[in-house]
Structure 1
Amino acid sequence: MAIISLSRIVAHWAAIQPDRVAVDHEGEQRTWQQLETRTNRLARAYAELGVKENDFVTIALANGVEFFEACFATWKLGATPQPVSARLPKFERDQIIELGKPALVVGVSDGEYAPIPSIPTGFTPEPSLSDALLPEKTATSFKAMTSGGSTGRPKLIVSRIPAEWDPEVPFLEIRNQGAMLVPGPLYHNGPFLWAMIALFKGATVAVTTRFDAEQTLERIETLKIDTAYMVPTMMRRIWALPEEVRNARDLSSLKALWHLAAPCPPWLKEAFIDWLGAEVIWELYGGTEGQGSTTIQGTEWLTHRGSVGRPVETCEMKIVGEDGETVPPGEVGEVFMRPLAGQGTSYYYLGADIREIEGGWESLGDMGWMDAEGYLYLTDRRSDMIVVGGANIYPAEVEAAIDSFPGVRSSAVIGLPDEDMGATLHAIVDVPEGALNEGALMAHLNEKLVRYKLPRTIEVVTEPLRDDAGKSRRKALREARLPAGVS
């Protein structure tokens, strides 16, 4: 099969399997034929609002059928979807709109970003608009994802992969015309990528509004899911179910369970391997930028316990010491990677600079080591980024919101260990007067930060948290608050 433009890929599968379910959101379904005609009409509505080839369309919709329809309508005009959280506070969304300058914002009230047009959740195109096939147009970028930034401001990671796909090319163990389950938020890169590529390959994609452990197992059984996307927090919650509940469902259809986005405790991974089979469990390490990644199947992991795998065939990796030299196997350093096609071939940033060294090598900020066989083992992060339940949170972003509250002189946000989420956000707030209205502060933060970036605990101090150079002592602050024996 040849490469197909994403403006035509739904039509391709609608011709082959018109009555098969393309998308399932907790029972609300669209067949391939329905997805084709509905997105043709929706694309024409977007075009009337001014969307043109290679424009960005900001999509602020929750998980559901409407999210997928908005993305495919965007691709049908040769434009690029730019997803954001439907619950993103206006303050943060405004920064993204300013950065991306989209042609349309989907999922907000009409006129909110005038003169940029916007349409609300539940928008319905005029019935008079045609649902016939549109002219083929292919965007130069198939996605533009949002990420927090170490400066406290968001950035866009714009893919350099054009909006086209070859359904026959093997990718992430996703089966052609199979069944995929994605219980994570679609505005995050991992869930977005797994869900969309499954659709590109003609699979049925099931999504949920939010993760629920029992519902996940029910969906796997009922829809005969063969591939699933998870983060370790989801796996922990499944494992916390009573054994009789966990084993009550028939999961024999599951051929690949991917976990990524955060470190997975070895005991948990081993438990899933024992439960579902080593050949079913897969792990991926990489970033939204797509410069490089590693993968490992459970069968390999058992002989390389703790590894995140070897670099995929499209990239190379090396471990760099503090002196900038490549270190030998077994020695810890910073993990650098680059695509074999050359630096800058997988993405570009809007609103941030690339962290790279000579030769086009880039880092995601992780520390680790490689064994003699080329398997990568991660040890820590060089950056201050905190991973909570698979979501990346930059302390500077949260601190900027806290520091804008009246009476706060400075703040430091650290991650403390959490059995369920991997880490929990703890805010240390410097208030010279010594009194802080925590309820008012949280109300203030609710207006500026999406829910998962809100601190779970707050500690008030009266001494400055930054040195004369304005640097926060996050590492020392965190170590002082860790239980004995925890690092």
Structure 2
Amino acid sequence: MTFLPVEGFPLSGIPGAYAAEIGDTVVVRAGADTLTWTELHRGSNRVARGLLAAGAATGRIVALLLPNSTDLVLAVFACYKAGATPQVLSPRMRPAELDAVLELGDPAVVVTEADSSLVDRTRAVSVEELGAGQSDDLEPAIATSWKAPTSGGSTGRPKIILSGRPAVTSSFDSDMWRIDAGEEALITAPLHHNAPFVTALTTIFLGGSVTLLTRFDAEQTLSAIDEYGVTWVYLVPTMMRRITALPDEVRDTYSLASLRAVWHCAEPCPVWLKRKWIDWLGAERIWELYGGTEAEAGCTLRGDEWTRHVGSVGKVTWGQMKLLDPEGTEITEPGVSGEIYMRVTPGTPATYRYIGSEATTRDGWSSLGDMGRFDADGYLYLLDRRSDMITVGGVNVYPAEIEAALVEHEQVLTAVVIGLPDTDTGNRLHAIVHTPRQADVTPDDIHAFLDGRLSRHKLPRSIELVHDSLRDAAGKVRRSELRAERMPEPSR
């Protein structure tokens, strides 16, 4: 393979360039399906023509309600060829959530599976319908933004995080994730999450092959690494827990000899779990990343560094970070906690733009709400992911969204959702619901009420009914106190 895209090469030209050199090579696997470079190039040409006929255009979003699949990757490149911005959404989103995102993004086209119930609701079309035309090349196009991931948002309403980069190649992501040309990557999580999307696409941009798990399975992950000679894998700590929980004789069945890098992010990794993986695979193969989808700044950390700074998420690798106290004064003393503020390196273009929200900023620095501290060597330690945000199985869940759904019930006065420890997912959602004393409602009634209003991962695992106000005399909800009261007693 002699082709490698230079900085700023149009993403729309990637499939054709590799098809001309390595056309018969598999670029994507998902379940039993595979896609070669030639199939990706020709297929995305056909689907791009269908998108253009359906109204896709430069500057517009195309919503892709597709699971991990070869069709999803084909549709992403069809968007680039049509000059549109792909927005991968979970096909399992509840109607109210989906409607809110579609209202914000105003997509030119909504694409989903042919047999999906969403076809009628959203006037969506399938990849098969869109791909009925000619496979000859289109005029080159460059979308104004290369991705548009969504977030639940701390207000309980979704927001879109529109990338500030047009649909051209950049060394930023490959440098950040240390993805090499020709990588064999295994992506274990859905592409509607930002990190799996970015790492899968970056691998493809550099002529590598990607194996997408259609559903996470601990042993299947190890099997895929050996079967396909995987060199680079993405996980979240919940997945790492489940792999660790496999019997030793099962894990020892797989050599994992091809594997050079295991990356984890999206939720804090317990110290005991990180140690187990370092002991198992070696510190040099274990990597961690901390940063937001906004990508203004972030940290990376290799396992051998972590052993010298246990619990850290690394040094600032790109952009700039600082800590501010509640009054906005910068904290420079090691070991003192504060709110983490970030910005791009001065002179660097903006990395994102919100649709449906405004950034929390101070003098050009923005905050995602995370708290942390730096040690004397400049390593960052996270204290709270967010005062209200709960990370469940690597997915960020915002209580305000769940609480807004809860108070829609006519017998719910107020509600507070907290996270309690869970050995499998890190946290589980617990809803504290204030109802009148004479209310004729049970936790099962409320759970049934939420089902259909929220995605499954946002449904509380437990619901507690109380008959006293959840607010203090100042009218404030003290989440930390409510959580502390419900925390299990430490084992002795």
Hey, what's the Cα distance between the residues in 1 that align with 2:445 and 2:57?
43
Hey, what's the Cα distance between the residues in 2 that align with 1:343 and 1:255?
31
Corresponding residue for residue 474 of structure 1:
479
**Aligned to 1:337, which of 327, 338, 342?**
342
Corresponding residue for residue 484 of structure 1:
489
Corresponding residue for residue 121 of structure 2:
112
Corresponding residue for residue 374 of structure 1:
378
Q: Which letter maps to 1:141?
A: S
Contact 1:167 / 1:200 at 8 angstroms: preserved in 2? no
**Aligned to 1:175, which of 180, 183, 204?**
180
Hey, what's the Cα distance between the residues in 2 that align with 1:254 and 1:151?
41
- 1:466 Cα deviation (Å)? 3.5
Q: Which letter maps to 1:149?
A: G
- 1:468 Cα deviation (Å)? 7.1
Contact 2:50 / 2:131 at 8 angstroms: preserved in 1? yes
- 1:485 Cα deviation (Å)? 4.1
Hey, what's the Cα distance between the residues in 2 that align with 1:470 and 1:399?
16
Corresponding residue for residue 395 of structure 1:
399
C-alpha distance 343-324 of structure 1, shift in aligned 2 (>3 A): farther
**Aligned to 2:309, which of 304, 308, 312?**
304
Corresponding residue for residue 453 of structure 1:
458
Q: Is 1:419 aligned to residue 428 of structure 2?
A: no
Q: Is 1:211 aligned to residue 220 of structure 2?
A: no
- 1:371 Cα deviation (Å)? 1.7
Hey, what's the Cα distance between the residues in 1 that align with 2:24 and 2:431?
52
**Aligned to 1:7, which of 3, 12, 15?**
12
Corresponding residue for residue 386 of structure 1:
390
Q: Which letter maps to 2:24?
A: D
C-alpha distance after superposition, 1:316-348 (max 9, x if no partner): 111222332222122111111111045870001
Hey, what's the Cα distance between the residues in 1 that align with 2:359 and 2:171?
32
Hey, what's the Cα distance between the residues in 2 that align with 1:467 and 1:5?
56
C-alpha distance 446-178 of structure 1, shift in aligned 2 (>3 A): same
Q: Is 1:162 aligned to residue 166 of structure 2?
A: yes
Hey, what's the Cα distance between the residues in 2 that align with 1:199 and 1:331?
42
**Aligned to 1:429, which of 433, 441, 444?**
433
Contact 2:43 / 2:131 at 8 angstroms: preserved in 1? no
Helix, strand or coil at the partner of 2:142: coil
Contact 1:317 / 1:335 at 8 angstroms: preserved in 2? yes
Corresponding residue for residue 156 of structure 2:
152
**Aligned to 2:411, which of 389, 407, 414?**
407
Moved more, 165-174 or 339-348: 165-174
Q: Which letter maps to 1:338?
A: R
C-alpha distance 384-344 of structure 1, shift in aligned 2 (>3 A): farther
Higher helix share: 2
Hey, what's the Cα distance between the residues in 2 that align with 1:188 and 1:352?
19
Structure 2 residue runs without a partner (length 5+) = none
Moved more, 419-428 or 9-18: 9-18
RMSD: 1.8
Moved more, 341-350 or 326-335: 341-350
- 1:162 Cα deviation (Å)? 1.1
Q: Which letter maps to 2:166?
A: P
Hey, what's the Cα distance between the residues in 1 that align with 2:138 and 2:348?
35
Hey, what's the Cα distance between the residues in 2 that align with 1:287 and 1:244?
38
Hey, what's the Cα distance between the residues in 2 that align with 1:181 and 1:397?
32
Hey, what's the Cα distance between the residues in 1 that align with 2:242 and 2:278?
16
Q: Which letter maps to 1:98?
A: E
C-alpha distance 343-480 of structure 1, shift in aligned 2 (>3 A): farther
Runs (4+) of structure 1 moved beyond 6 Å? none
Q: Which letter maps to 1:194?
A: T
Moved more, 104-113 or 185-194: 104-113
- 1:467 Cα deviation (Å)? 5.0
Hey, what's the Cα distance between the residues in 1 that align with 2:176 and 2:41?
24
Helix, strand or coil at the partner of 1:237: helix
Corresponding residue for residue 270 of structure 1:
275
**Aligned to 1:354, which of 359, 375, 378?**
359
C-alpha distance 140-126 of structure 1, shift in aligned 2 (>3 A): closer
- 1:166 Cα deviation (Å)? 4.6
Q: Which letter maps to 2:359?
A: I
C-alpha distance 93-470 of structure 1, shift in aligned 2 (>3 A): farther
C-alpha distance after superposition, 1:15-52 (max 9, x if no partner): 22111111100231001111111111011011111111
C-alpha distance after superposition, 1:238-274 (max 9, x if no partner): 0000011011112010111000011101111111111
Hey, what's the Cα distance between the residues in 2 that align with 1:382 and 1:241?
31
Corresponding residue for residue 251 of structure 2:
246
Hey, what's the Cα distance between the residues in 2 that align with 1:254 and 1:418?
29
Corresponding residue for residue 22 of structure 2:
17
Hey, what's the Cα distance between the residues in 2 that align with 1:59 and 1:466?
41
Moved more, 384-393 or 334-343: 334-343
Hey, what's the Cα distance between the residues in 2 that align with 1:118 and 1:306?
45
Hey, what's the Cα distance between the residues in 1 that align with 2:354 and 2:71?
27
Hey, what's the Cα distance between the residues in 1 that align with 2:199 and 2:439?
48
Q: Which letter maps to 1:118?
A: A
Moved more, 407-416 or 440-449: 440-449
Percent of pairs identical after alignment? 46
- 1:171 Cα deviation (Å)? 4.5
Structure 1 residue runs without a partner (length 5+) = none
What is the TM-score when the length of structure 2 is the normalising length? 0.93
Helix, strand or coil at the partner of 2:287: strand
C-alpha distance after superposition, 1:104-124 (max 9, x if no partner): 1112644534xxx5214x633
- 1:446 Cα deviation (Å)? 2.2
Contact 2:289 / 2:298 at 8 angstroms: preserved in 1? yes
C-alpha distance 126-362 of structure 1, shift in aligned 2 (>3 A): closer
What is the TM-score when the length of structure 1 is the normalising length? 0.94
Hey, what's the Cα distance between the residues in 1 that align with 2:460 and 2:284?
38
Corresponding residue for residue 369 of structure 2:
365
Helix, strand or coil at the partner of 1:407: coil
Q: Which letter maps to 2:314?
A: G
Hey, what's the Cα distance between the residues in 2 that align with 1:198 and 1:470?
50
Moved more, 51-60 or 379-388: 379-388
Q: Which letter maps to 2:404?
A: A
Contact 1:436 / 1:460 at 8 angstroms: preserved in 2? no
